[in-house]
Structure 1
Amino acid sequence: MSLSIITTGDGSHSLLNTALNETYHSRHGAVQESLHVFIQEGLDRFVASGATTVSVLEVGFGTGLNALLTAQYAKAKGVTVHYTSLETTPLPEDLWGQLNYTASPEAQTLFYAIHQAPWNQPVVVRPTFQLQKLTVSLQEAALPAAQTDVVYFDAFAPNKQPEMWTYDMLAKAVQTLRSGGMFVTYCAKGQLKRDLKALGLTVETLPGPPGKKEMVRGVRSV
C-alpha cells in the first residue's frame, strides 16, 4: 500500500492512498471532520443521554485520529470508553509518528500510547480509555450482538471500497448496537440510508463537517 502524508484544509494531516486515490479524511480538514462526525454527532450525543460508560466500535482505525479524539473526550467529560477498532493494515511508526495531531506533550504521549498498544488484546491506555485494536476485517470479525453504544463507520468511500458498504456489512455493524445505540458516518448516500432504515435504524441526515454537505446518524430503537 502506497501512502503519503498530505495537509488538509484545517492544517491537520491526513494520508493519501495513492492506489485508491483516496484520502483517509476529508481534504477540507481531517481533525474538524472527525470531531464533527464521530465525536459531536456520535459519542457526545450518546453521552448526553446520561451515559457514563460507553462502548465504541470503530470500523477503520486508520491514523488513530478518532481514537485519540475519543480518549481526549473521555478524560475531559469524565466518562469511561471501551474502544474496539478494526484495521487490516496498521500503519508503521515511521508514518504515524509524523502526523501532526498532537499539540501538547500530553497529547503526544497519548497518541503514542494508542499506536504502541499491542494489537489483538485489550489495553488500559488510561483509566477512562480502554482500547482493543484488532487486525481483522469487518467481514471476518466475530462481533458480539447488542454490546456497542456507538459505531464509528469510517471505511473508505463507497466508490473506492464498495465491499465495505454492502447491506450485509452494514448489518454486521448494526447488529452490534444496543437499544439506543448510534451508527455514525461521514457518508450520506441514498442507498446507505435506505439500507440502515431496512436494518431497523431511525436515520437522520445531518449537516456535514466544513466542506461536506451532509452526514448520517442512525439510532437503534429496539
Structure 2
Amino acid sequence: MKRQIITTGDGSKTIQIEEWNEQYHSVHGAIQEAKHVFLKHGLHYFLDQGQVVNDGGKTLSQNVSILEIGFGTGLNAFLTLLESRSNNLLIDYVGIEAYPVSETEISELNYPDQLQSEKGSDLFERLHQVSWEKPHLITSGFQLTKIQKFFHQITFKETFDIIYFDAFGSRVQPELWTESIFEIMFLALKSGGVLVTYSAKGSVRRAMQAVGFLVEKLPGPPGKREMLRAVKPFS
C-alpha cells in the first residue's frame, strides 16, 4: 500500500497510508498524542503507583519493562528513551512490528528536531539501525529489542509492567482489537501492569473487560475526546 509522510498539527511528521486514510499517529499532533497517551497515562501513571526508593537521600533507578504493540516510526520508543535519561529509569523496551518502516521513511521524520533533544538525532537513528530479534543497549538506561512478528504470535507471560497498545485503528484492522488479542496482552503483563491506548471505542473497552482488565476512560489527546487505560489486577 502506498505510504506518504505528512505533517501533523504540532509540526511533527507521521506516515499516512493513503488507501486506508489511516495514519501512524494523530493528525492533530504525533508527538502530543504520544506524550499524552503513552507517557503521561502509561509510563508516568505506572511510576506514580510505586514507592520512591531512596538510599541516603539519593533516588535509585527504577526498572520498567515495556512492550509496544506497533513499533512503527519509533516515536514512542524515542520519547521513552528520553524519559529514561531525564528520570533515572532503567527501561527494558520490546517493540513488536509486522511491517518495519523503511530507511527512507525514517530519514524524513523530524522528531529529534521537534523535541530539540541533545544528541537526539543520533539516538533516534540508533533505534532504527540496530538489528532485529536481539537486545541492544541504546544507552546505559535503555535496552531495546525489536521483534518482527504478528501480534497474535506473541507468547510472553507475566513479563511486562506496561503495554503501549498502538496498533492501527479498529476501523481498518478490527482483528487487532478483539478479546483474543487482549487475552494475549493480559497474559503478557505482570500483576498490576498497565495497558494504554488511544482508542476509546465501546467494543474495545468491553473486549478488555471480558479478559479480566479493569478499564477506565480518560481524557484523550488533542483532537480526541477520550482514551482507555486498562490495569491487570493483582492476583
Q: Normalised by the size of structure 2, how large is the TM-score? A: 0.91
CA distances 1:89-143 after superposition (whole Å, capped 9, x unpaired): 11111111110101245110110010101111111111111000001111123x2
The one of 195, 201, 207 aligned to 2:207: 195
The 1-side partners of 2:98 and 2:233 are apart by: 31
The 2-side partners of 1:196 and 1:92 are apart by: 32
What is the one-letter code of the residue matched to 1:27?
V
Q: CA deviation at 1:182?
A: 0.2
User: Pairwise mapping of residues 23-102 of structure 1 onto structure 2 (< 5 A)?
Assistant: 23-50=23-50, 52-102=62-112
Paired residues, number: 221
Alignment of 1:211 with 2:223, yes or no, is: yes
Q: CA deviation at 1:49?
A: 2.4
Q: CA deviation at 1:167?
A: 0.9
Q: CA deviation at 1:50?
A: 3.1
The 1-side partners of 2:70 and 2:156 are apart by: 18
The one of 142, 158, 165 aligned to 1:146: 158
Alignment root-mean-square deviation, CA? 1.1
Alignment of 1:111 with 2:124, yes or no, is: yes
Kept in 1: contact 2:179–2:210 (CA 8 A):
no
Residue 182 of structure 1 is matched in structure 2 by 194
Identity %: 43
The 1-side partners of 2:210 and 2:105 are apart by: 40
Q: CA deviation at 1:156?
A: 0.5
Residue 12 of structure 2 is matched in structure 1 by 12
Structure 1 runs of 4+ off > 3 angstroms? none
What is the one-letter code of the residue matched to 1:124?
L
The 1-side partners of 2:17 and 2:47 are apart by: 34
Alignment of 1:124 with 2:137, yes or no, is: yes
Q: Normalised by the size of structure 1, how large is the TM-score? A: 0.97
Alignment of 1:163 with 2:175, yes or no, is: yes
